Each structure stands twice: as C-alpha cells, then as structure tokens.
Amino acid sequence: MSLAAIKQYEMPRSERNLYLSFILIGFAHLMVGLFLGFMQGMQHAGIDLYRVIPIVRHYYQGLTIHGVFNVLVFTTFFIAGFLLFVTSTSLKKPINLRLGWLTFCVMTIGLLLTDYAVFTNQASVLYTAYSPLEAHWTFYLGLALVVVGTWLQLLIVGRMVLQWRKENPGQRTPLLAFGALATLLMWGLASIPLAVLFVGILLPWSLDLIPGVDVLFNRTLFWMSGHPIVYFWLLPAYLSWYFMLPKQVGGKLFSEPLARLAFLLFIPLSLPVGFHHQYVDPGVAEGYKYIHFILTFAVFMPSVMTAFTVLASLETGGRARGGKGLLGWVTKLPWNDPSVTAQLLAMVLFALGGISGLINASYNMNLVVHNTLFVPGHFHLTVGTAVALTFMGIVYWLVPHLTGRRLFSAKMGVVQAWLWFIGMTIMSRGMSWAGMLGAPRRTALGSAPYFMDEWVLPSWFTAIGGVILTISGFLFFINMLASLWLAPKAEKQVEVPVAEPLIDEGAKMPAWLDRYTVWAGAAVLLVAIAYTPALVKLISDLSMTVPGLKPY
C-alpha cells in the first residue's frame, strides 16, 4: 500500500483509553525513578538526601527503584501503548480489545507485585537482579508477568499483520506495523532466556524450593536477554525517527528499502552479543568472548544505516523548507516544535552514546572501564536520552491526538527538551569522567571511605546535571498533566505523522524485505553458534549451591 494512500484511522474512545493507560502508567513510574536518580546524583556529591527524604530507606533501594522503573517499567509500558497504537493506525484496523485489555491487566498485576517488592525493601537487588542477591518472590513473578505482556503484544500485532496480508495480497506491510512487528519479534526471541531465569530459577529459589543457584549460569542467562533488551527500547525510537519524524519536519523517508533492511538486520544481530558484558567473568572461554565482541560490532552496521537514512530524510525536510548549503538545512528544521526538538536532540546525544558503546564492546578497552561509572554514563546517553527523550517527543503529539486536547505549552516543551539535553550532557560527562578515573558503579560513592580526590569534580558534574534533568522532568510532567486536564479542546485533531518514501516502490519492493521468517531463523542459528558450546559447558559444571544474600 502506498503510504500516500494511508488515511487517518478513526479510533474509538475505548481503544484510545487503552493506549493512554499504558503510556500514563509508564510515565508515572518514570517520574518516581527520575526523582530517585536526582537523589543518587546528590549522594555522589556527598549530599545524602536519604536521611531527610524518607521515601526509601537507603541508597541501594533507591538505585533499584530508579533502574527498575526507568529502564524496565517506563519503557515497556510506553512501548506497549505506542506499538499497539501505530499498528492499529497503519493497518486501519482496531486491535482485539479484549486481548489488549488482558495484556494491560497481566502487565499491571505484574507491576503491582514488583512495586510491592521494591517499595518494601524486599528487592534491593538492582535492575540486573544479580544473584546471590535475593529478592522477594513477588519481584521475580511481577517482572515475569510484564514480559508475558510483551509476548501477548507480539500475538496481537502478529495476528493483525497476517490478517492484513490476507486481505491485501501482493502489497507490502505498512511501515509502522512492519517496524512494530520486527521489534516485538526480536524481543520475543531475546526474552526467552530471561523468562527461564526468572521463572525457572530465581522464583523457586526465592520460595526455598531449590537450595541455591549457580551465579555464572544466571549471569549468562541474564545477559542473553540483557543486551538485546536495549534494542527493544531503541527500535520504537527508530520507528519514530524513520517513519514519522521526516513527516514532522516536512521531508520524506530517504530510502524505504534501507529502512526495512535495518529493522530486519536487528532481529538476528541484536541477540548473540551478551558475553561482551562478561569479559571479566571466569568460566567463559575467551574464544566465545571474542566471537561476541565481533558480533557486537556487527550490530553497529544497522545503527550506521539508521544514522545515514534518518539524516538524509531530515535533510529532505530542511531543504524543502528553504535550507541551503552544506548544513544550512539544519537551521530550517522546525526547532520550535517540542516533538521535533526532543527527537533531534536525542539523536545528537545518541551519537555520543554509540561511540562510547564501542568502548564497552571492545575486548581490551572494556577492561579499563568495566564496572566503573563510565558504563552508566554511556547508558544514560542511549536509554536515558535516545529512548527517554524520544518517547517524550512522541507524547507531545500523541497525547493531544488521543485526548483531542491541545498541548498545554509548546514553548515549555521546547525548553524542557533543551534542559534534558544540557543536563544529560553534563551528567553523563561527569559519570564517564569519574569512570575513567576508576570510580566504581553501583556504589554509594558519597559515603565510600576510599573516595578519591580526583573524583570530586566529576561527581559535582553528575550532581549538577542531575539537578537540571530533574527540573526538565518536572516541566515535562507539568506540561503533560496540564495537557490532560487543563488544555482546551483542539479545533482540529492532531494528525498521526506518517512519512512518505522519497521514491514509492510499492509492489516493486523485494518481498524478502517484507518477511520475517528467514531473519528469525538466522537469529536462532547465530544464537546457537554463539552460545551452545558455552552453555553446554556451563550446564555440565552446574552447581546450584549458592544461597541467597539479603544485605539490605
């Protein structure tokens, strides 16, 4: 189907409420996680707010909630609402509402169990849930139910795409639905080891049904899903950058085949990369660490394709708006639109995050920064900005579209996006700087007796950046809450931005760029090659004897 032919889908109120519910729960948890991040930054600078603001008992409880809420709950709930919305919109079909609300209930029940565990200080195990740190059983079951919710989303979107293909033989799947299914398919494959770990090992362990665990085996299962989950967060942002943002800036998608190929490549290349998080772990052969090092650099390829295609698409918009010269088109982009500004600034910092990610992935350079603050410095550029700021940019048009109200203040939105950009630049610089000087991660540095003098200035960078980010976050939430309840009704419904390709190839598009089977098969094959011998060795040496540890 030509994108030019896509009309706006008239969505019933019940369906809009479902998507809004997902999105609001996600952002509500981001607000809590963001404030706890502010407290962490201040603690690193020697200001211990945990003694005066008793919303949590200690640093590690706050760090756990910050990680779980920001990178697991916020992202997963927003993605659920967004991907179901774009699928329904692009296929011009309602989703199965019963299944949609069932998905919401499963995820929300899981979330309530998780909230109970972390707020009662029974799951201060950080978001990585590393054993032998042991959490209350509700923590493991709760997060497992959230993952089950993502599988239900895959079922919903997969059925809708298959049905659409039957009704439209010979036509290519609309890009938004195509990208949504690629994202959920990748995560559906990648999340299996995590489900095995949480349901098969950690849950019975927390219920004293098994005597102990094997720490190395658990870490391997975690990172089999723990790095691919980054692409589960990033691909919805890519979906907006590829297929929506060009329309918002007045341009067109530079190359539809290249965009489809990038999404399909992420399915096999995102998965077999977990050992680059375990370079210093004993018990994993160096040869397999080297294979994962190569494959981690391979996943950089579709990222570079994304950078090229998205920038070229944005250039078509800047030049259509009168931009001249090599970079004159950049200034012609609609920087007064908060949705556009947020996503453009997210891309800028994502470029730095991608470069710092190559350092983490390098077998030798990783040894210098491993388990230091450099790693969360990188993480905040990618997930904390590329993902979070892009999702904020999306809701600047998506919430008004779903509610029928205007955005409360576009100017406030633009200021908020720039403050996030500035704050994150300063904070991540401080983290990366301290990390290169040897400051450890996952540590209450402000109370550490070994705190070094050279960490003082980077720690203040981290704290000041955190303050600016917190101000930005509060501006965002004020703007959103006002848009939900105070803003007047819009005279005209906000349209869903869907970019047309620069060259519409229609049915001429190769069929293999619209099919997933081969790419999913390639993913299974690569995982088998990259993991099977190492897993066989780990299982043959399995020793389920390590008892749980609850130091907090």
Residues marked active site are found at: 227, 231, 378-380, 441-442
- Alpha helices in 68-136, H assignment, sequence order: 75-91, 97-119
Which DSSP string corresponds to 387-453?
A: IHHHHHHHHHHHHHHHHSBPPS-HHHHHHHHHHHHHHHHHHHHHHHHHHHTT-BSSS-GGG-TT--G
Give Cβ neighbours of residue 64 (< 8 Å, ≥ 6 apart): 118, 123, 124, 125, 126, 127
Among the listed residues 270, 300, 277, 275, the one whose alpha carbon sits nearest the alpha carbon of residue 289: 275
Using CA atoms, how far apart are residues 196 and 148, in angstroms rounded to an integer?
A: 12
Q: How many residues are given for the chain?
A: 552
The tokens for 351 are 């470029």
Which DSSP string corresponds to 221-250?
A: HHHHHHTHHHHHHHHHHHHHHHHTHHHHTT
Residue identified by tokens 């990680």 is 67
CB-CB neighbours of 321 under 10 Å: 15
Using CA atoms, how far apart are residues 454 and 165, in angstroms rounded to an integer?
A: 61
Using CA atoms, how far apart are residues 344 and 333, in angstroms rounded to an integer?
A: 10
Angle formed by the axes of helices 388-403 and 13-44, nearest 10°: 150
213 close to 131: Cβ distance less than 8 angstroms: yes
What is the phi/psi pair of residue 549, to 5°? -130, 125
Cis omega (within 30 of 0) on the bond before 376?
A: no
Using CA atoms, how far apart are residues 243 and 176, in angstroms rounded to an integer?
A: 7
The tokens for 204 are 């019975």
Among the listed residues 547, 430, 499, 533, the one whose alpha carbon sits nearest the alpha carbon of residue 3: 499
- Alpha helices in 135-174, H assignment, sequence order: 137-167
SS3 of residue 463 by DSSP: helix
SS3 of residue 279 by DSSP: coil
Using CA atoms, how far apart are residues 69 and 74, in angstroms rounded to an integer?
A: 6
CA angle 490/239/109 to nearest 5° reads: 80
Using CA atoms, how far apart are residues 139 and 209, in angstroms rounded to an integer?
A: 16
Residue environment code for 386-401, b if the CB has 16+ CB neighbours within 10 A, otherwise e: bbbbbbbbbbbbbbbb
Q: Which DSSP letter does residue 489 get? A: B
